Structure 1
Amino acid sequence: MASLFGAAGAGLTGYKMNKRVGAIEEFEFLPLSTGKHLHVTLAVTGWLCSGKYSSFQGPWSSLGACGEQYCLVWESRYLRDLGSALDSIVDGLVSMVAQEALKYTVLSGIVTALTWPASLLAVASVIDNPWGVCLSRSAEVGKHLAQVLRSRQQGKRPVSLIGFSLGARVIYFCLQELANDQGGEGVVEDVILLGAPVDGSDKAWERLSRVVAGRIVNGYCRGDWLLGFLYRSSSVQLSVAGLQPISLSNHRIINVDLSSVVKGHLDYMRQMDTILVAVGWPTRDGAGTHSKQPDTLAKGGPLANPIRKSSQNEHLCEPDVRHTEGTVCRITDHDCGN
């Protein structure tokens, strides 16, 4: 059966760059599951830090046992530098009061050099260089990922992609590269981009939808002051997908407002269990909720039912998807105290 559907003898684990490709220094795949399946999921981490999240696999421990799963290992030296810089900015250089003020600065939609506190601008050099380096390298890694997927290293099986922050940017440029050439269709099934530091214009996302067979989920947080600050030089002219919904009228593009789950950009790593539940991605039992996970998995892949609505008879200790209008969903807090 596996041979019939193109799974036999195919896998990403054995792939590793034989030589340096452009500016890319590190690119390989690590398995998150065992065995061969008819569907492949690839998770892309956005940065690395110390402790629990010092590895590329760390943020994805709650992914449900759904198909064959891998995480992408890329440019770890630079991602660790970025993680250290992010921790320094958030934990050491910006007070909680300042973070609240910055959140409302981003929410106001007026993100210019004049609105950022002088104390934050004074330490901008701590983050600007590692962020700029990773911003550039993530685009190159995304383009190379497109070449790997196009060459069918995974066999003739559908691939779903999920990533946060710069990991989402890797996926974005992968899809852009696939859209540039004929033959890119049918490779990618479903996509989830979380806190993506990428262009959120309708034109850009229309191109993405052409090469994704299933649905594209844009998970964003309007009050993500750190992402707004990192994009401060261009966010006036450029809409940022990780800060707002995609306005394109396309039933396959799903916007999920994660503002009640994600209080800051670092929460995309720290709250991944809850985020996966919120966007309807299958998780392990007990991940992000105290009750048994709903079965959102269908034959088409992990995102066959990407946004789950709860009935009045259910009591779920998880974010509830409410106020659905068109393709915009807002996640609101659910009372689990009773």
Structure 2
Amino acid sequence: MPSSVMPTSRIDGRQSPAAVSTAGLRKSYGDKTVLNGIDLHIPAGSVFALLGPNGAGKTTTVHILSTLIAADSGRAQVAGHDVATSPDGVRAAIGVTGQFSAVDGLITGEENMLLMADLHHLSKREARRTTAELLERFDLVEAANKPASSYSGGMKRRLDIAMTLVGDPRIIFLDEPTTGLDPRSRHNMWQIIRELVSDGVTVLLTTQYLQEADELADRIAVLHEGRIAAEGTADELKRLIPGGHVRLRFCDPSTYRCAADAIREVTRDDEALSLQIPSDGSQRELRSILDRLDRAGIEADELTVHTPDLDDVFFALTGSNQPNQPNQPNQPKEAVR
């Protein structure tokens, strides 16, 4: 079984343990450039989300890292193995779940698992033990002897990931794993991913569900037209988008005027008795605003934090303007505190 010890990235010069790292990754199909110099550094034991619209290159990146296709140029390492010169080492260390289930619907869930165990050259005893453990872990014991074609979408996804885990991979590529699932099944899948990471598994997740990346990812990269448009934690990415502010509302006009004098750099709404203060929504900035009010002996009747979310980041960085999406840049969300 592959080792759980991850190498240190040497491609980009950083010395933190890396499960996956790339430098200058490029791929074209004819005159269509799909990847145009991708640099990634994915720490071991983390969830890294790759966001992007259709055709941005997410699946192509996964296919290169999993040795299914070759890059035109650039370098990539997975679990310390170069994908070009040591593909067998890469394959031994990874598991891949694609957009479309690899489950064979003509055989039972248990038979799918045993088939995967055979592909990994497990002994019959080990195959039976591993299959039983994974079927129980993914709540598929009752359905184990039923044809997989009778499974719901969520059950097929669980079986798909269970099959991926037969080889005990320490790195898993999940290419849009919750596409087509209902909200309950999607949340169940999120919990499975969290449990995998708590066991030390590294997950590269591609998704179009922005909430999914926000919920799961330690770091997020936004891929647009073959390039990384931005990378960081969800909070770091949200702070890239202007428009965040704190809104203070008052019931008493005199208190409102005193607050405006105390804080000064505000946008006033005399009719609504509200003040708007530019802010990134951080705890430090909120504390600063409240401290100024406290020093002046003023208490707001309502404090509302307006912060951009990943929808805003995505649309701003990719230039998307989709009418079916209600949340556009410069229309940040509100959270009453």
Q: TM-score, normalised by structure 1?
A: 0.28
Q: Which has the higher contact order (CA 8 A, sep 6+)?
A: 2
Q: Which structure's CA Rg is the greater one?
A: 2
More strand as a share of residues = 2
Q: TM-score, normalised by structure 2?
A: 0.28
